[in-house]
Structure 1
Amino acid sequence: MTLPPRPTSRLLGRGSWRESRYVADILRQETVGGTLLLIAAVAAIVWANSPWREAYSALRDTTVGPQSLHLDLSLGEWAADGLLAVFFLVAGIELKREFVAGDLADRRKAALPIVAAAAGVAVPAILFVITATLVASGDDATQLSGILRGWAIPTATDIAFALAVLAVIGTHLPSALRSFLLTLAVVDDLIAITIIAIFYTQSLNLLWLAAAIVPLAAWRFLLQRKITNPFVLAIPGILAWGFVHSSGIHATVAGVLLGLLVPVNRAIEDDPDRHSLAERIEHKIRPFSAGFAVPVFAFFAAGVTVIGGGFSAALSDPAALGVIVGLVLGKPIGIFGSTWAMSRFTRAELDSGLAWTDVLGLSMLAGVGFTVSLLIGDLAFGLGSERDEHVKFAILFGSLIASLFAAVVLRLRNRVYRRIHEQELRDSDRDGIPDVYDASPGHPD
């Protein structure tokens, strides 16, 4: 007896109406955050290259905090260790929701962004190592092991910047592409924070790490009891952050752990008329994260001096060149190549409403690295060091090139989808939901 053929799954297929609304909501918030991020970065670069650049360095290196608790950190370190923990808290909640109730809950849908994110991390890292090794010569060759500490810098996609660029150049691109970019970046963040915890932890104090279990458990207990008072939740949150920081692991890991411990109820998440606890907490924290925490970090992290030979010095640094190659070439090769491979060697096919040019443009856009890349650069080479300055320039320069390449490709595709989008709006019925979503899983009848 001949068995019926196995159903073919669609790569980057259209999601549910609820998922599309969720992505649109995230897109709007991250677009604003990306704009503020850009303003903060530009302000830092202008100040760092002005006659008052020493004042910028002095402000960034100003130390505040109790020395007895090992919290006598510079303002730059407070931004990287403290404010970015809020960013990773939001990322942790986002990741939890995606795995429990989002596209990552479906193994078939989850396979693509997970494989693409993994390849989008591995290929840039490999190209960084190859480029830095080939370019290093003379004194650099003897310092190669130190240079290679930056292998993870080009592996992260900055979701705020990438979505901001996508919102400007791709106003009518399919929601599947936006959803894929968002999910890809969420998995990317998880891989990045894992890399930070494993490869950039110089010493580990197991006693402090064990102590962090208590406030983490208290945080989970309070949320399970529906206690969401921000002043009450701040107590275990700050304690968990402090204990993880004292353990030697980068404090942003505490943010991810807190986010993953937020309860997620799939039944409520799937109901378009209800707002889950995780969704409410995320919506309360995200404006602070996108509107303040990340821009302030960017202001203290992006101030690279390029005048007085800084530009040529950066372009001659093997680590900087490795970062540029990793972002501009590694990201699209890894993401586009892995997506094509899944289509070629599995039963999955690209959704009929998309073209491979769309995937290529999105893969290029994933080369926009900023927040996490800057953080890893600081951890790899030391905040304010000469090589850290070179790497910061490389991150900014590589991200600019990646965004320009993506803009050319996606802008052309956007013209095609504008007509399709206008037709879908005309086909929508009185409930305001495009008819194409009526047969989508999870659409309320």
Structure 2
Amino acid sequence: MKRRVTTNLFSRGSWPEARRIADVLRMETVGGVIMLAAAVLGLVWANSPWAPAYESLRGLEFGVESLHLRLSVGQWASDGLLAIFFFVAGLELKREFVAGDLRDPRRAAVPVAAAVGGVVVPALIYALINLGNPEASAGWAVPTATDIAFALAVLAVIGRFLPSALRTFLLTLAVVDDLIAIVIIALFYTDELSVVPLLLVLVPLALFTVLVQRRVRSWWVLLPLAGLTWGFMHASGVHATVAGVLLGFAVPVIRRRAGEGPGLAEHFEHRWRPLSTGVAVPVFAFFAAGVAFGGLDGLVSSLSDTVTLGIVAGLVLGKLIGITAATWLVARFTKAELDSDLAWVDVLGLAVLGGIGFTVSLLVGELAFGEGSAEYDDAKVAVLLGSLLAAIIATIVLRGRNRVYRRIHEEETRDANRDGIPDAYQKDVID
């Protein structure tokens, strides 16, 4: 009797070409380059003579109206596809909290506090700049969000030799930052919060949690439950990507018994990262970055508006001051500790990198000012400009730090070779 063999695109027995592609997509540097290329393509197309075609594509709607799921292509990208990225990020973050560096509460408290500081200070800066402009006051929360996808992509491209603790710090900060921003949306920018769908989220989420805790891996059982969780979250009015984080947090990290192989969180992350890196995040970036400047005159006009100035200052200066100050205060006056692998100049570079704000910032701008308004157009330009400035400054700072860590790595490698340490053992020691 022949045993039936089923294959999965990313399984061990799948086609060699697909496996090689998946392995390449699991490299953060490759994923960062793909996403940044997609963002540049969207930006160029949105400001080209063919911009109407881009807007038509982004605004094309499809889905089931009765389930509140008739969305535009752009909305499907930011609310739907990006939930896959947040699921993978949730898996990785939970592994850090349970089995990684952040399992120590004293270390976890530092990036969490940094996220709070990175929300409060940009909001205050925006409010101060717009004190005399009551029409612009509603946009105080626009510069509070850090875009986790873009920030991690930039870090992956520029920081091959930077310590892994820096990425963990940024991942924690960005996830907490986004969760705070989503709470702000629910409290201040949600006209209709549907309680019933929000409560119904708990049903498929609880079933999903029970199954994964029992180490169930069957996609035909878990995917429908994940889809229902996302659908109810979207219908409730809360940003739907929160469902991805909650589902990621539900997956167990620790193996049930020794010798069972990778934990379920690691297994899911390995399977889903290629889809996140190769499809979900680039498609999102392509549509999120498509901000039309309105020509040179429109750009100059926007730069003189207090909405633009407040957002740019909030993203660049506010994030730098808020994240750095909160990190220093917590590390100085509490028992919380900054990771020993990080220097304060690393924190400064990371704080500037936190000023990259795309997805939630653009969403808050639309909710605050209304699509099509002059303030919203200024907000879009400001988010793009502020994020670009933050990325450039962070690149300058962190590239310099990357060269320092590369020299340290090369010196340790030479010392290990001189002492005759075997290559395999040498790698373990250096890492």
Q: Within 2, Cα distance between the matches of 1:332 and 1:47?
A: 31
Are the structure 2 counterparts of residues 353 and 261 from structure 1 closer, same or farther at C-alpha, using a change threshold of 3 Å?
Answer: closer
Are the structure 2 counterparts of residues 352 and 249 from structure 1 closer, same or farther at C-alpha, using a change threshold of 3 Å?
Answer: closer
Letter matched to residue 284 of structure 1: R
- 410, 427, 432: which is aligned to 2:426? 432
- 145, 155, 177: which is aligned to 1:156? 145
Tell me if structure 2 keeps the 8 A contact 1:33–1:160.
no
Deviation at 1:168, TM superposition (A): 4.0
Tell me if structure 2 keeps the 8 A contact 1:32–1:291.
no
Q: Does 1:285 align with 2:283?
A: no
Structure 2 length-normalised TM: 0.83
Aligned residue pair count: 402
Q: Does 1:247 align with 2:241?
A: no
Are the structure 2 counterparts of residues 350 and 294 from structure 1 closer, same or farther at C-alpha, using a change threshold of 3 Å?
Answer: closer
Deviation at 1:182, TM superposition (A): 3.0
Alignment of 1:18-417 (within 5 A): 29-134=27-132, 136=133, 141=134, 143=135, 147-265=136-254, 274-308=261-295, 309-346=297-334, 355-383=343-371, 385-417=373-405
Q: Which moved more, 1:385-394 or 1:38-47?
A: 385-394
Tell me if structure 1 keeps the 8 A contact 2:28–2:156.
no
Are the structure 2 counterparts of residues 418 and 68 from structure 1 closer, same or farther at C-alpha, using a change threshold of 3 Å?
Answer: closer
Are the structure 2 counterparts of residues 58 and 232 from structure 1 closer, same or farther at C-alpha, using a change threshold of 3 Å?
Answer: same
Q: Which residue of 1 aligns with 2:20?
A: none
Are the structure 2 counterparts of residues 342 and 44 from structure 1 closer, same or farther at C-alpha, using a change threshold of 3 Å?
Answer: same
Q: Write out per-residue CA displacement over residues 93-143 of structure 1, whole angstroms, 9 at most, x where no aligned residue.
A: 233323322333211111211111211121112112222335x3xxxx3x2
Q: SS where residue 432 of structure 1 aligns?
A: helix
Tell me if structure 2 keeps the 8 A contact 1:133–1:318.
no
Q: Within 1, Cα distance between the matches of 2:94 and 2:77?
A: 25
Q: Write out per-residue CA displacement over residues 44-72 of structure 1, whole angstroms, 9 at most, x where no aligned residue.
A: 22111112211221222122122222222
Q: Does 1:420 align with 2:421?
A: no
Are the structure 2 counterparts of residues 364 and 247 from structure 1 closer, same or farther at C-alpha, using a change threshold of 3 Å?
Answer: closer
Q: Which runs of 5 or more structure 1 residues have no equivalent in the other structure?
A: 1-24, 438-445
Tell me if structure 2 keeps the 8 A contact 1:60–1:76.
yes
Q: Within 1, Cα distance between the matches of 2:72 and 2:243?
A: 20
Q: SS where residue 360 of structure 1 aligns?
A: helix
Runs (4 or more) in structure 1 with deviation over 6 Å come to 25-28, 347-353
RMSD over aligned CA atoms reads 3.0
Deviation at 1:407, TM superposition (A): 2.6
Q: Write out per-residue CA displacement over residues 154-202 of structure 1, whole angstroms, 9 at most, x where no aligned residue.
A: 2222334333333444443334333322332233333333334443332
Letter matched to residue 217 of structure 1: A
Q: Which residue of 2 aligns with 1:21?
A: none
Are the structure 2 counterparts of residues 219 and 256 from structure 1 closer, same or farther at C-alpha, using a change threshold of 3 Å?
Answer: same
Deviation at 1:27, TM superposition (A): 11
Letter matched to residue 251 of structure 2: V
Structure 1 length-normalised TM: 0.80
Q: Within 2, Cα distance between the matches of 1:42 and 1:352?
A: 36
Tell me if structure 2 keeps the 8 A contact 1:27–1:163.
no
Deviation at 1:326, TM superposition (A): 1.0
